[in-house]
Amino acid sequence: MSNGKPDFSNVQGSVQSTGEIKPDFSNVESKVTSTAQINEGGGGGGGEQTYTVAKGDTLSHIAKELYGKAGKWHAIYDANRDVIGDNPDKIYPGQVLKIPAIED
C-alpha cells in the first residue's frame, strides 16, 4: 500500500575515507634498562655503555637511574657534548647517549 511517500526503510549507508590514516604514537612510552654493570673508575674494558633517551627524561633523571645520584649528570653531559650541544636541557627521545664510568 503506497501513500505517495518514498520508502527508505531498507536503505543502508557507510563512509570510507580515501585519505591516509596516520597512526597516533603520542602515548607511546619506552624505557631502556641494562643488566650491564657500569665499570667504576674507568677500568675494565667492558665496552662503552649507551642509553637511549625516553620521553620525559632529563640528564639528572638518567644519572639518578644509572649512577644513583642525580648530581652526576655532568659526567653524561660532558661525554655527549658532541651530540647534545651547548644546552644540557635539549635532549630528545630516541637520542643515544654514551654513559661514561664515573669515580665516586
- Which residues have CB under 8 Å from 72's CB, separation 6+? 63, 102
Quote the Cα angle for 47-49-52, to 5°: 150
SS3 98: strand
Quote the Cα angle for 50-56-60, to 5°: 60
Helix H or strand E segment including 96:
strand 96-99
The alpha carbon of residue 73 and the mean position of all alpha carbons in its chain are separated, in whole angstroms, by 18
% of residues, the chain, pLDDT over 70: 79
* Distance between CA atoms of residues 84 and 77, nearest Å: 7
Give the global pTM: 0.54
Q: What pLDDT is recorded for position 43?
A: 46
Task: Share the mean pLDDT of the chain.
Answer: 81
Domain boundaries, the chain: 68-104
Question: Does the pLDDT at position 39 exceed 60?
Answer: no
